[in-house]
Structure 1
């Protein structure tokens, strides 16, 4: 056997004859180092990291018990197995040695064959324990949920990821049946098929909706299979699961977008655009009627662009969107939004007021952005303010460049307490019978894509809500080079 594959043994004894006897017995199978004192033994153990230590007890200065205590107190050496080899042979001596942390106790005079056999057994046991500890650390540090049950589905082990995801502590979970996570979203036949597969000795793989301790439902990708003993009998089941709720949300969003585009919006919108185009070519309409037809056609085209942009939202969520910024004049985009929302605002007699300082009135206010994204953000935020505002009120839009650039939209009314911390989250809505919970979420997504942020400030005392778009690029003036003033 080459030295590279041989395990290392440290012999500690103050008698050279004993060291020589042990070296002769072991030299053909192991790499041997020796120490004649406890102090030297501790240094060698720390630097050479032997696989096992044969340790005498009766030594001058630091005896074997003190050496063993020192080894176990050091993180580098605490796991090295120690076998006492000593002339002390009473039961009390042996018990004391084992209590100090030794794995075995060999009395002198020893038989070389016995030493070799015990050494071999303890090294195999130690290596097995190391592999088990490695496996345990892998399981405990796994980001996936790992659960082991008995054959009835009662939980015998759950790793920390299980607690993090489900909310059940280890103490709460142990002994409970996995039915505590049953969501009620699957038919009984779903579970019967699962049990039929795993009880037959096969692995079940699939997606499952489970329920957290707080009642929240979540999706998991699961693999559940049997654990068998040496005779092939199933003794336990192990489940390895990954939380895929975020992926499911993306899939749902994609389905919603595709449904809206292909069925709910594009088909009737196409008819509106074709009809308005035809009417614009007809004679007999007065100037006001032609302007109204033009507005219908332009609004339809803008809606078509919004539908196409819905696909872009999905790309933003999956980091596939290609952002192409340019200098955009804020007031022109804002005017387009105001034109589109004007009919709805009239229905509630709500007035839209734009506030700027005197210097801004005489110069264009530009920002680095994509025009269609800026339009969508402002449209979403203004519509949100409109829905929250009482009748006969006004919504103020404040454009500012200092102390930090911002577009803020202020309306009467406050955001309800239960939704304030989740205002920009997907599918979060409150008190709206027809709300999708996507308006403010998509506005935040588009703002972040362009390098901006959205801030919510709602005040119960003032009965107002302010939504602010902030970012470093707002307020840049066009200098004729196609770059912002910061870039030139």
Structure 2
């Protein structure tokens, strides 16, 4: 289309130039035909157009030459030819720049496409406001692009890192240096994820940042594997210590308890020392329970599966709760179908007892516990919800850490053992605690978690307060 237009324009200029006297210099309009080379893909077009324009200019001079031809024709026509050549040179130069610019733009587009397909990318201004996020950022954060643009990264801050950590990050990039590290973030749905992060400042001519780009890689699985390895190493050491403690402490404790019980039997009724002795026996029992928990956690036995109905197991767990003073006044309701599981019934009972005992303790012995049973695909979902004050967000992940407890008494092993039991059955134990709405623990177990039973069912794991 451009070439046809250029040909028509060239013929029109030539015919007009032939009709008009030479003094009008109509041929200068050939410059416009040469400039049309900016819009054609033919790289040699400007030179060809300049040569054709110069040739037609010469033809016009020859045809229009006469006795009245002014002398300045010998000056302006060569100058016009030089203008044609100069214009063609400039157009070709601009075409080269355009090609180089197009190649650079294409390269940048390829780099962006490669980054977007392999990494989590975001850009921010100097104040930290998000100006761009790619699809992977939206996917891992569970936020839409509209929800993220204009916000700062506090929207995904998990609260895990200290203020000193964040200050060091900002000081580094504000100084124009690249920062690299690992960050734990929180998605919109509350789930946590780890990213290996590199933040690169874009600097202006004064060396000051005007924009930051953060390139991240999801390392959640790697961090989980590292945690498992660390836990396995810790468990190996804990198992050795537990064996020593069980041998060197549990047996003497039994002897001390027996001796105190003998002394109690010799005291007359109403003796002022008897309550003190009862308290000592209670403390010894608590210490024995802690040692039992330590053994169970450090050296868990494999499940011994059996086929059983879930509801009777829940009823037994509630009966165990009623034996504890903290659980006598708590209302407990069971809702849902009576599912049949293939699992270790005693381990499941111990897990449920631990969970409802924790719920009763969280409510200080007053409130309601709702147990809901449901089947989802091939899984049994057992939800235990209490009407207590809930668990603060910063503690929700820590409650599953061994030896972590917020209670004055307790070894902090109840919930870790419960989660270990779920994992041994191929399931999960999670919690949700929205502000002001109590706490819900969800035990998810495959309907046929284990193979069909062989042999007797083992004794239950000890019930422990966390």
Structures share a fold, TM > 0.5?
Answer: no
Report the TM-score range of the alignment, normalised by the length of the smaller protein.
0.3 to 0.5
Larger RCO (CA within 8 A; separation ≥ 6): 2
- TM-score, normalised relative to structure 1: 0.43
- The structure where helix makes up a greater share of residues is 2
